[in-house]
A and B are shown apart, each in its own frame.
Chain A
């Protein structure tokens, strides 16, 4: 049976290598160095190694010497990799061979903490344990939006932003809303599968159950809004939540806030205030939205066009409360009329967008169907 040597992670590229402790001084001559390299090479051939890519064990290299029928091994079902739990079910994946070794690449990365067996004709020819990573930084929770500490009682959603992609599909096991006395409130969030993550897997959108927020629904009548005005709540994210590498959050996070009054009004661009810059300058344009708006939508819903309807290039930054937008133009302002354009899908914290309130009473309010709203302003010399 082969000597068991654990694979170790290397940098970000996929490399087959054996880490050796070469406690030798560099003063050795070239001949000795070559000898050492040769010896390393021989030893490398004799060991089962893990292949690493992006900190994940993505394959197993099985040296030629361990395999009786190496020439046909890549296409030969006599070789299989199994879990070391007694179950001899072949793990799905593909085999390929080079001159020195047979390479097995499973469909998903190998799991840290598990041992894998390599069998030839159902006889164990080697095994390998996938180690847990050491010295890797635990994922952190970077922000919970809205950042405010008073939120409307009909708040629709939170965004939770992490430093690393988290395991998805299990967020509600680790996120809880606690009441004033620390009691966990049930049925507060909408259980969505698949969950709503951004492309990087680091920002989770967490909806409070719309069934409880919408007036008149059975759930709303039976349980009321998840949040009640004047009460204090704690949104807690447990440190037991793992990221995609299998590392748990660095700590338990807690956001404490008070529920404020209900927001039943659609955001009104006409009420926004613009602090005008001077023509010929690259002074910032400050826009006060009069109320906190959705953090992620606000940043991407706003644009400025000039009198020819051409977009004005620049950078947008938001205030901490998400109730102010600051626009830094890339080129100086001209003496002319501009239009601030705001995408109609922009929402406030209660899910009311520019076209309609979230929960529309059809006997009273009408929804509009515009794709964007405009506010004109003039830059003067």
Chain B
């Protein structure tokens, strides 16, 4: 009897503990329980405590979801040949009916999350465990919060004729210093949009800065092009956004200048060649050096050391033939479609091979 009483007491205490932790997180991030109405998944990124950010272009909304995936792991090893076929089979269809949109690794558990879209537009969130098994990540009855990605129209634009604002298609997302950073493209006007939103979400509009760059191959001309992928770095104590564009210039924007309404001119530090779109960029260590590794859809992946980036003080405003700026190393991996940081030295990559197969693999820390 005593034993039973003790067990009940422990059970109740346990429940109270779980409930208080749950309450704490709910309050900490202003989460509420429910089912987020995710219409599309354009980008994924992890925040603190296993919070997964989902960028939904179609509903112009950012969701923060508590995954409860907070068990620490040092690293993991993923290796799935024909990942597109495996995903299609898990979803009960064939590979031409699924597209892999983005992937992110939970920095705490090292679990891999993959965003997939079916041919009919249905978004799917999957996870890949360390056993390389695909599972569904349920978004039913989860703790979450959300915020609109579009700036609400100002007085002069406010619902003049009830016409919709342009849609922002999210090209990349990252979490830094308590802020969710989002780069995007508009579906109508040609513009470069870069937004930062404080997390926990406050419900206030996203702070937007316009980014402008000198195109080095350009010489005289200057344009606002849409950022395709970005990361952040610190140079001599100052934080920067490192961004890349189609035609692959690498540009630094000081983070303290990225304020609402600001028009920020970037410093182009490298030209990495045209007819290419960068797909992802991450920072990895190799020995005592840190490298920015960039994956490309039509060229081999490349890496640039932090030292080189910090050393390059100028800006490429003179005409450039081919490539220029900071020295970079060409890596032996072409057509890397997705890349996510696994730990300090390694990344997980989805690559289209020469024979057309799409494989997911873990880097060995040497080339990527």
Interface residues of A (CB under 8 A from B): 56, 81-83, 87, 89, 91-93, 106-111, 114, 116, 156-157, 165, 167-169, 187, 190-199, 201, 203, 205, 207, 210-211, 214-219, 242, 244-246, 294, 296-297, 299-300, 302-303, 311, 314-316, 341, 343, 345, 347, 351, 353, 358-363, 369, 371-372
Q: List which B183-222 residues lie within 8 A (CB) of chain A.
A: 185-191, 214-215, 217-222
Q: Within the assembled complex, what's the spacing in Å between the Cα atoms of A67 and B171?
A: 47
What's the least CB distance linking B105 to chain A, in Å? 20
Q: Within the assembled complex, what's the spacing in Å between the Cα atoms of A341 and B154?
A: 13
Q: Which residues of chain A are near B222, meaning CB under 8 Å?
A: 360, 362
- Which stretch of B4-12, B23-31, B155-163, B349-357 is in the interface? B155-163
Subset of 25 A-B contacts with CB under 8 Å: A91-B90, A92-B126, A92-B136, A107-B91, A111-B94, A157-B190, A194-B57, A194-B101, A194-B171, A199-B164, A199-B167, A210-B225, A211-B275, A215-B218, A216-B215, A217-B218, A218-B321, A242-B119, A303-B160, A315-B161, A316-B161, A345-B191, A347-B189, A351-B190, A358-B190
**Nearest B-chain residue to A346, judged by Cβ:** B189
Q: Within the assembled complex, what's the spacing in Å between the Cα atoms of A246 and B118?
A: 11
Q: Which residues of chain A are near B322, meaning CB under 8 Å?
A: 218
What's the least CB distance linking A345 to chain B, in Å? 5
Q: Within the assembled complex, what's the spacing in Å between the Cα atoms of A87 and B217?
A: 52
Q: Within the assembled complex, what's the spacing in Å between the Cα atoms of A211 and B188?
A: 18
Apart from A92-B90, A156-B190, 5 more pairs, CB < 8 Å: A114-B92, A114-B93, A207-B190, A351-B190, A360-B222
The answer to whether B121 touches A168 (Cβ under 8 A) is yes
Q: Within the assembled complex, what's the spacing in Å between the Cα atoms of A207 and B191?
A: 12
**Chain B 272-315 interface 0/1 with A at a Cβ cutoff of 8 Å (1 = within):** 00110100000000000000000001000000000000000000
Chain B interface main SS type: loop
The answer to whether B94 touches A218 (Cβ under 8 A) is no
Give the contacting residue for A107; candidates B124, B154, B214, B247; CB below 8 A. Answer: B124
Q: Which residues of chain A are near B51, meaning CB under 8 Å?
A: none
What's the least CB distance linking A275 to chain B, in Å? 19
Contact A169:B99 (CB < 8 A) given known A207-B190, A303-B156? yes
What's the least CB distance linking B172 to chain A, in Å? 11
Q: Which residues of chain A are near B169, meaning CB under 8 Å?
A: 194-196
The answer to whether A210 touches B246 (Cβ under 8 A) is yes
The answer to whether B92 touches A83 (Cβ under 8 A) is yes
> Which of B98, B135, B157, B161 has the largest number of chain A CB atoms within 10 A?
B161
User: Size range of the interface on B?
Assistant: 35 or more
What's the least CB distance linking A155 to chain B, in Å? 12
**Chain B 79-99 interface 0/1 with A at a Cβ cutoff of 8 Å (1 = within):** 000000000011111100111
Q: Which residues of chain A are near B269, meaning CB under 8 Å?
A: none
The answer to whether A110 touches B92 (Cβ under 8 A) is yes
Q: Which residues of chain B are near A157, meaning CB under 8 Å?
A: 190
The answer to whether B120 touches A108 (Cβ under 8 A) is yes
Closest 7 pairs (CB-CB, A-B): A300-B163, A303-B160, A91-B92, A108-B118, A196-B187, A244-B120, A111-B93
Q: Which residues of chain B are near A195, meaning CB under 8 Å?
A: 169
Q: Within the assembled complex, what's the spacing in Å between the Cα atoms of A120 and B221?
A: 67
The answer to whether A211 touches B247 (Cβ under 8 A) is yes
The answer to whether A197 touches B118 (Cβ under 8 A) is no
Q: Which residues of chain B are near A314, meaning CB under 8 Å?
A: 161
Q: Which residues of chain B are near A372, meaning CB under 8 Å?
A: 156-157
Give the contacting residue for B246; candidates A82, A211, A359; CB below 8 A. Answer: A211
The answer to whether B42 touches A198 (Cβ under 8 A) is no
The answer to whether B215 touches A214 (Cβ under 8 A) is yes
B58 within 8 A of A: yes
What's the least CB distance linking B324 to chain A, in Å? 11
Q: Which residues of chain B are near A296, meaning CB under 8 Å?
A: 188
The answer to whether A83 touches B89 (Cβ under 8 A) is yes
The answer to whether A109 touches B246 (Cβ under 8 A) is no
B68 within 8 A of A: no
**Nearest A-chain residue to B126, judged by Cβ:** A92
The answer to whether A360 touches B92 (Cβ under 8 A) is no
The answer to whether A362 touches B220 (Cβ under 8 A) is yes
The answer to whether B97 touches A111 (Cβ under 8 A) is yes
Contact A116:B92 (CB < 8 A) given known A165-B121, A194-B169, A216-B319? yes
Q: Which residues of chain B are near A369, meaning CB under 8 Å?
A: 263
Give the contacting residue for A114; candidates B94, B167, B186, B321; CB below 8 A. Answer: B94
Q: Which residues of chain B are near A196, meaning CB under 8 Å?
A: 167, 169, 185-187
> Which of A106, A214, A217, A246 has the largest number of chain B CB atoms within 10 A?
A217
The answer to whether A216 touches B220 (Cβ under 8 A) is yes
Contact A89:B89 (CB < 8 A) given known A107-B136, A217-B215? yes
B223 within 8 A of A: yes
The answer to whether B220 touches A361 (Cβ under 8 A) is yes
**Chain B 163-178 interface 0/1 with A at a Cβ cutoff of 8 Å (1 = within):** 1111101110000000
The answer to whether A219 touches B275 (Cβ under 8 A) is yes
Give the contacting residue for B277; candidates A81, A169, A191, A361; CB below 8 A. Answer: A191
